[in-house]
Structure 1
Amino acid sequence: MDVITTHLNADFDALASMIAAKKLYPDADVVFAGAQEKLVREFLAGSFIKKIPVEFKRFRDLDLSRVKRLILVDTRQRSRIGRFEEVIGRSGLEIHIYDHHPDAEDDVSGAVSIIKPVGATTTILTQLIREQGIMLTPEEATVLALGIYEDTGSFTFSSTTPDDLKAAAYLLTCGADLNVVADIVTRDLTREQVSLLNELINAARIYTIHGIDICISSISVNKYVGDFALIVHKFRDMENLNVVFALARMEDRVYMVARSRIPEVNVGEIASYFGGGGHATAASATIRGKTLIEVENKLWEVLQSRIRPTPVARDLMSQPPICVNELMPLKSVEEVMIRFNINAVPVVRKDSSEPVGVLSRQTVEKALYHGFDDAPARDYMNRDFKVVGPDATILEIQEPLVEFQQRILPVVEDGRIIGVITRRDLLKYLVEERSTHPRELNGELLFQKKREKNIESLLREQLPEYVIDILKRMGRLGHRLGYGVYAVGGFVRDILLRRPNLDIDIVVEGDGIVFARAFAQEEGIRVRTHKKFNTAVLIFPDGMKIDVATARLEYYRYPAALPVVEFGSLKMDLYRRDFTINTLAVDLRPERFGRLIDFFGGQKDLKEKTIRVLHSLSFVEDPTRILRAIRFEQRFGFQIGRQTERLMQNAVKIGLIEKIGGHRLFHELQLILMENDPVPALRRMDEFQLLGVLDPLLKWTEKKEKLFRSLKDVLSWYELSFLDEPVEKWWIYFCALLDGLNASQLEGVCKKLDLPEGHKTRLFGALRNIYRAARELEAKESPPPSIAYRILNGLSTEELLLLMAKTEIPEVRKSVNFYLTRYRYVSPEIKGRDLKEAGVPPGPIYRKILDELLYAKLDGLVYTKQDEWEYLKRHYPEIFKDES
């Protein structure tokens, strides 16, 4: 069997090339490797294609084992031919290739390989058809012309060659209908496409990389919009751009379309990094499993490395290196560190420049504190250190400085130290040199825009005046210290949503602990610090707390681990957060107070009511974010983005939730149960099969739904009844969630959640009390108040409310209702002192008498104190005589 195929997401050049190849290989089957572009699909569904004697077979009807010759057109990349990749390399398979794309790393080779740098692959095949004297019908010639016209931009692309014009001219002699071609190639944009074009223009940013202006525009839409390449082409022409990379997140994929008019930027080569392809002037890629932000960051890295070579160790190192001799006394080492203001120094051999260790200022200061001024450096240096060569890559440099937290990295050549790299040097490259200030299309620098979004008026609308004053004082202190100070996260999110929230988080571009201590000293308030994470908590006299953190970058040593923290910038700090809506920040510095900072499209997602992660490994690094996504989705009435939902499902499927520590899982579950209405979130948890993590038999059934709805009604009744006693709603919901599990299953849940012993005892006791009370009340028909009191007395309010919600018997519910609102407030007017005055000897008889009076009063047998005395005379004549 011979098979003709082309690349995934086939365009008109691919379609025309397949039809042309069929003329050269008349016995071959024509099969698409995957999907086609929208316009190609519409064309294939129309009437014109039926005039061409080509049958397109479905891939699923193909027996790959019978393929003996594979004819590839308009591609030769292994990664772009879908499941046909399975036959590549098979013994006896013959491959024929016809392509116009430049070489790529995953190209396959063929027995026949005709590759020419022309504007369209159809041009190559048209030449062969003409040379072999094969006749074309007017309809076939029209489709072939369509392939050439589309891939050359009607002969306006710089990739167009004289051969393309000659091929088109020959097709016209064969009867090609240019009216059909024009109807498809020169089509107008739809309303949706015009809207997308407008978004591209507004989102466009110009970056200058090694002297070359590159336009990058990233947009996000919730549904697929066809012909993105056409939109980008019009965008490039409208703005007269030499290089443009357009990224669009549509549903759960990111589409990249790139165009270049200059030889310095080969967009086909860059697209290949994303599994796409094309040629130097036009390329595209469809990226799955990555968020838009991840693709943006990766694109930036690729552009940096392709347009400007990535620096190696010799480019980053400081030289000449400041070193100390291994025999130098520690007192002298300290003087060197102070003189050059350094915190770590390499130690070299006494007779050479070979590094033998590293000394930190902290180690030196501790040794001097203990009186070892004259001890040689080699006695206290760290001998377990790494070095790199002058050609070491960024990744090789990052490992010792970040992963192993080595303070300084010697660069060694021929056994001698020629320079050093510090973490500051690395961060300077990663943050400052890579964050070229972008410009708008009109050339105006973004950070110099006159009209910036300032939400100071919204801050004043949503926050008390004293909070505004605190934030301003923080900004002024940051200005004096030379630090950037920002309010971030959920606090900013809720301000934009106009939801009350005084849970303030501050991020400092500098040392957060130094900032917090200075602010506490100025304000005369308390401060708690956490040096491991470089965080602090400011505690005000009225009990208000403000968290202060150092701008940091978190990375995870393994899935579900606690994060390791390193210093970073505000953008790096925000990038580590869970969802785009939590990455918003407000500048507090005096000259920029109230300026909203949005690196990752958080405002747009707030507007579109979407929960979206920043990167595809978000749930792998911290699976508790799965529960937070559900909680935020239900709290705000948002919707989890399609790609984010798929990432959540995958994380659950591979068992990452199982790796979360019990106390962290319990904390997230507790937060869900603290929501005003946890039912929608619990229902969503069940959809993601998260309840089964607690116990395989724990499901969200109709019975469970009914219990929670009943419980919500009961809690509303309790609040509206003006009952002052506060209740722990989350605890009631927690007990209700586990209601129905047996003792063994409850033990398993407690173990899974690492439940504190007090909570475990309370849980078992609560469920036992509820079951017992329900059983006893249900056994009675309309029990008198005294009986109901005896059954219910001793149960907590939480247990009583759950019992009230759980029971389906009106009499039981009525008994609990009356107990909560009446019975528990009843007490006899006769007290113990009255009995003592009446001459009754103190003892157990007191409790018996008072309880009996209470039950009599509950049942309406007595009302006044006199009634109570009369009752006692009748029932205890031997104690209470007439004279009493």
Structure 2
Amino acid sequence: MVKNIIITGHVNSDFDSLSSMFSVFVLLRNKVQHLFPQETEEQFQFYLLMPPTNHPMVKAFVKEQLESLFTKEYTTTKLIHSLEEQIISDTKYLVIVDTKRISRLHHCHPVLFENITVHNNNANGNQGRDQSSINKSIVVRVIDHHPNSDKEGDDLQSNDTNVNVETIITGAVTSVIVELLQKYNVTLTTMEATIMSLGIYEDTGSFLFGSTSNLEYKAMEYLSRFGLDHSILKNNSSRNISSAGGMSKFENTGDHEDSQNLNNYNRILTTLRENLTSISMLDNVIHLTQLDEISPDKNISPIVQNLIENSCNIHTLICIVRLNQGISVICRSSQDSKVNVGRICEDMGGGGHFHAASVLVRDQTISEIRSMLFQLLYGQIVGKDILLKTIKHQQQEVLTIDVNASIKSSLEIFTKNPTIKYLIVLKDGKYHGLLPNIDSINSKISHNAMVQDYMLSVQLQIQQINNDTTLADSIQQLVRNRFWLLPLSWQDSNSQIGGVITSTDILQQTIKSMNNGQIHHFESSNRSTPFGKHLSILQNNIIYNIVFIVLKDVAEKLNLDIYLIGNTIYKILKKSVDLSKVELVIFSDQLTSSELEESILEFLSKSFKKIKDKSTIKNNTDQNQLTIELSDSNVIITIQITTFVYYPKTQYYFTYLPSPIKNHCYRTNFTMNSLFVDIKNQNLYDCFDAIYDINEDILNLNHSNSFKDNPSSILKMFLLQYEFDLTISNDTKRYLKNAVSDGDVKKIEGASINEFLHDIFKFKKPFQFLYDLKLYGIWNEISPLIKIESSYYDLLQDILNWYDNLHIRDLKPDRFKILMLTFIKYSGNEKKTIELGKRLDVSEEEIMELYNSKSDINIAAKKVKKWIADPDHKSDANSLNEMFKDLKIEYLLFLMSQIMYKLKKTDNNEMFINQAPFTLFLNYLNLERINKTQ
């Protein structure tokens, strides 16, 4: 029986992965014994399993070159993009190239591991994906050129039976396999030599990367003996301006197209230069840049390489690029850089080499990625010399709560510890999950609810620590967990949680390093712009006078940092005339809240006579909120006052480093609300990429876990989308889908849903909200009793619009009640209706009143049909009044929608005939009301 040999590389494969796969195929096709000397059989079926990739040039090369080559030249070998069970069952050998990391081989897990099948590969988590679970019925050969991973258990390792892992640290793994081809004197065609050369050229940066060794030069000398197609090498090289500009081409283009690509290349390069910022850690200067535009098809890597090669003062460069499928982080460093960018990308889920690496991140926002990068850099440069035991002691008290406790008991803990964002949830004394600060994010949750109903099932890897564990070790684990809280377990403690380390702990260590001169910053970004030009749209000059004259005077005389924040800025930028509310924040480490309030009111009273003020003290004693209402102008000013600030007083706006205002704005859910304006200099600052989102009318989350921490923010997102006519970003859609699939939507409180269903009627097309929630599967998660038929609600909207145009005095229907009637229609019996009412926070009395109205509505429906069928009654207003007099207006409009919808499905003309009795009755009713008022 013919057995299979599967050859594959890592996910998101590059040309070195592709070329090395191809090289192994050519080697084994020549003789299987070259890699498996014990083999006696000669006939095998070869499968090249192409890993999923987002590399545009690799994808184009496979489709336009490799697939046709295998169809014409290698007819007995199959190029496949996914596995089938029959292929797996007949496989004897699996060859893996360019990686040994289990986490980068997800596409071949069904053949690599036992009990992982094609069907459950995407739903099994990490269970059954370790060294002990490797498929014992196959032989695995791994050829790699990357250093071992720091992530415990992620590297495949050789064993005495069926796994052989060979790692040779060099510039390109293709060179290792070409060395074998040369050793066995394998003759190549020009095309074969060219395909192999591609991998070497690309992974060594055309021999310019620091990882290049003599093995690559020897390999290229051997390959060149068979001739190389340099047009293929040129057109598929990332260093080619045409391909770097976003196009993968296999033949020369005209002058005009080349000129366009060159212009595109230069434009991107200029943008990256303009966005450069930098920080210095222990004299290691790291530069960060960013491409804000979404670039689905552009290969930015060569431009990043060009930037570092042609800038004598840049030794470590990190570039962040928005993509439709996630966010790409490209890292490059020069030979004299001590920063291991490969390790940084590996900790974030990617990989590479010491001086060149990249990662595609799908589960974090740009702001979170910047924070991760800073923490990893800080850990690698500074944190490696800070022992964790100097920060966390074994006797540290850990705030925990049992999974079976009530929410009320958790609130008592949060009240005593207001700065705590999460409690660790225990089950049988072991880590089970996290409970967010419920009261701070959603006051509508019942205190009688249970912890298990609202906890986050976050699978955190608990860190085992000892006296030698460093802060760098914990930072790496924090990043890998994708959560800024890490449970700690001291060695020999039987896995009992003995402490936690959080992002706040790391922040405090960072501040110490900033204060003692270990970290410096250099601002050179263009993300600060004058805000004064936008203020001309303010028709009500009182806002300008309050904010930029009176409060500016306050800031200068009292030496305060005062910032304009929130929706106020968004509305000004969008030239909105609705500016009745102004939001500000004040930071002070000198005056108390009461002193500040007194000073602010004194300054304002000199300019404005009629002032009402209300002061609210928040849970934590260092923050107050002062609300000022100017009686004669309908302007409300909300000022948050923070009097305890442990940040150094500096303006770390654009680098990774923190500042009070930056931290404050980072807490917002959406980027559109994260801008701030310094009252003193009237400059607008954009630290979280809000301007791009605002200009493109995109709604983007600031935090990837916002929907998990506070599921009700999902509903707020849809309201924001329609209020400001925004498009939900692809990243935010991805987080929304995750929240649905992870069951987070089920945690939305009924009170929040009820409020949302009332709010949608503030918009012209309220039922569009229903369609959108159905599209994402949200209604099914909220309650399977709710059914949404868009064609029916379209008709209902037409009826409501028609009714509004009648202008019937003092008879406005409660649209929420009509909506509830439509929900009840599908809910079934009384018990299910009461269940639906509870889910939507509708009282049993109200929901049963609506439920019981069904009989009256049904009786009226029969009368309507009889009235229409009797020609003598069609102009009799008294008979209409007799039919409808006992029906509330909500019931009447609901009845009208039901009758017309049933007929719409069969006969449109008949549908409009059946509208007649409602039209006559309501017009008669309107006329009667008009006569009464005259």
Q: Specify if TM > 0.5.
A: yes
- 1:559-578 superposed matches below 5 A: 569-578=660-669
Which amino acid in the other structure matches residue 184 of structure 1? N
Deviates more, 1:89-98 or 1:630-639: 89-98
- 1:408-807 superposed matches below 5 A: 428-429=508-509, 445-446=524-525, 452-472=528-548, 473-501=550-578, 502-510=580-588, 515-516=596-597, 518-520=599-601, 523=605, 524-532=611-619, 534=623, 535-542=625-632, 544-550=635-641, 569-587=660-678, 589=679, 591-593=680-682, 595-692=683-780, 695-714=783-802, 716-718=804-806, 721=807, 725=810, 727=812, 731=816, 734-735=819-820, 737-738=822-823, 740=825, 744-755=831-842, 780=867, 781-782=873-874, 784-785=876-877
Which amino acid in the other structure matches residue 60 of structure 1? L
Equivalences, count: 719
Paired residue secondary structure (1:677) = coil
- 1:226-241 superposed matches below 5 A: 226-240=298-312, 241=314
The CA deviation string for residues 186-205 of structure 1, in whole angstroms up to 9 with x for no partner, is 53235556354444333332
Deviates more, 1:422-431 or 1:168-177: 422-431
Paired residue secondary structure (1:189) = helix
Quick one: distance in 2 between partners of 1:184 and 1:427? Answer: 44
Which amino acid in the other structure matches residue 527 of structure 1? K
Equivalent pairs: percent with the same residue? 22
How far is 1:608 from its partner?
1.6
Which amino acid in the other structure matches residue 17 of structure 2? A
Quick one: distance in 2 between partners of 1:462 and 1:433? Answer: 43
Quick one: distance in 2 between partners of 1:40 and 1:516? Answer: 62
Q: Does 1:130 align with 2:182?
A: yes
Q: Does 1:109 align with 2:157?
A: yes
Which amino acid in the other structure matches residue 599 of structure 1? C
- Which residue of 57, 64, 77 maps to 2:79? 57
How far is 1:305 from its partner?
0.7
Q: Give the match for residue 439 of structure 2.
A: none
Quick one: distance in 1 between partners of 2:535 and 2:809? Answer: 34
Q: Give the match for residue 51 of structure 2.
A: 34
1:35 to 1:655, Cα distance in 2 relative to 1, 3 A? closer
Q: Does 1:100 align with 2:185?
A: no
1:695 to 1:425, Cα distance in 2 relative to 1, 3 A? closer
Quick one: distance in 1 between partners of 2:845 and 2:209? Answer: 74
Would the aligned equivalents of 1:694 and 1:749 in 2 still touch at CA under 8 Å?
Answer: no
How far is 1:681 from its partner?
1.7
Q: Give the match for residue 365 of structure 1.
A: none
The CA deviation string for residues 470-514 of structure 1, in whole angstroms up to 9 with x for no partner, is 223334334445443323222222222223332333333347676
Would the aligned equivalents of 1:673 and 1:733 in 2 still touch at CA under 8 Å?
Answer: no
- Which residue of 248, 256, 260 maps to 2:333? 260
Deviates more, 1:81-90 or 1:610-619: 81-90
Q: Does 1:78 align with 2:102?
A: yes
Q: Give the match for residue 497 of structure 2.
A: none
Q: Give the match for residue 218 of structure 1.
A: 290
1:150 to 1:646, Cα distance in 2 relative to 1, 3 A? closer
Would the aligned equivalents of 1:512 and 1:548 in 2 still touch at CA under 8 Å?
Answer: no
1:649 to 1:20, Cα distance in 2 relative to 1, 3 A? closer
1:619 to 1:683, Cα distance in 2 relative to 1, 3 A? same
Quick one: distance in 2 between partners of 1:550 and 1:390? Answer: 42
Would the aligned equivalents of 2:821 and 2:851 in 1 still touch at CA under 8 Å?
Answer: no
How far is 1:643 from its partner?
2.5
Q: 5+ unaligned residues in a row in structure 2: which ranges?
A: 33-43, 114-130, 247-263, 393-465, 479-483, 486-500, 606-610, 645-657, 868-872, 901-913
1:526 to 1:42, Cα distance in 2 relative to 1, 3 A? closer
How far is 1:53 from its partner?
4.3
- Which residue of 350, 354, 362 maps to 1:276? 350
How far is 1:817 from its partner?
3.0
Q: 5+ unaligned residues in a row in structure 1: which ranges?
A: 318-387, 405-420, 554-566, 830-884
- Which residue of 197, 215, 219 maps to 1:167? 219
Paired residue secondary structure (1:174) = coil
Would the aligned equivalents of 1:8 and 1:35 in 2 still touch at CA under 8 Å?
Answer: yes
1:177 to 1:696, Cα distance in 2 relative to 1, 3 A? closer
Paired residue secondary structure (1:485) = strand
- Which residue of 77, 83, 90 maps to 2:135? 90
Would the aligned equivalents of 1:634 and 1:680 in 2 still touch at CA under 8 Å?
Answer: no
- 1:277-316 superposed matches below 5 A: 277-309=351-383, 311=386
1:740 to 1:812, Cα distance in 2 relative to 1, 3 A? farther
1:607 to 1:532, Cα distance in 2 relative to 1, 3 A? same
The CA deviation string for residues 30-56 of structure 1, in whole angstroms up to 9 with x for no partner, is 423512433233333345745764834
- Which residue of 9, 12, 17 maps to 1:9? 12
How far is 1:64 from its partner?
3.1
Quick one: distance in 1 between partners of 2:473 and 2:628? Answer: 38
The CA deviation string for residues 123-180 of structure 1, in whole angstroms up to 9 with x for no partner, is 2222222223333333322222232222222222222223322221222223334454
Quick one: distance in 2 between partners of 1:208 and 1:167? Answer: 39
Quick one: distance in 2 between partners of 1:140 and 1:693? Answer: 54
Which amino acid in the other structure matches residue 189 of structure 1? S
The CA deviation string for residues 50-101 of structure 1, in whole angstroms up to 9 with x for no partner, is 5764834324246334444332222222222223343353336443333222
1:698 to 1:95, Cα distance in 2 relative to 1, 3 A? closer
Q: Give the match for residue 812 of structure 1.
A: 917
1:210 to 1:430, Cα distance in 2 relative to 1, 3 A? closer
How far is 1:122 from its partner?
2.0
Would the aligned equivalents of 2:11 and 2:105 in 1 still touch at CA under 8 Å?
Answer: yes
Q: Does 1:187 align with 2:240?
A: yes
Paired residue secondary structure (2:242) = coil
Q: Give the match for residue 871 of structure 1.
A: none
Q: Which has the larger radius of gyration?
A: 1
Would the aligned equivalents of 1:513 and 1:529 in 2 still touch at CA under 8 Å?
Answer: no
Would the aligned equivalents of 2:23 and 2:177 in 1 still touch at CA under 8 Å?
Answer: yes
Q: Give the match for residue 869 of structure 1.
A: none
How far is 1:772 from its partner?
7.0
Paired residue secondary structure (2:639) = strand
Deviates more, 1:475-484 or 1:793-802: 793-802
Deviates more, 1:422-431 or 1:723-732: 422-431
1:460 to 1:394, Cα distance in 2 relative to 1, 3 A? farther
Quick one: distance in 2 between partners of 1:485 and 1:730? Answer: 43
Quick one: distance in 2 between partners of 1:512 and 1:475? Answer: 18
Paired residue secondary structure (1:525) = strand
Quick one: distance in 1 between partners of 2:782 and 2:837? Answer: 9
CA root-mean-square deviation: 4.3
Paired residue secondary structure (2:364) = coil
How far is 1:759 from its partner?
6.0
Would the aligned equivalents of 1:136 and 1:174 in 2 still touch at CA under 8 Å?
Answer: yes
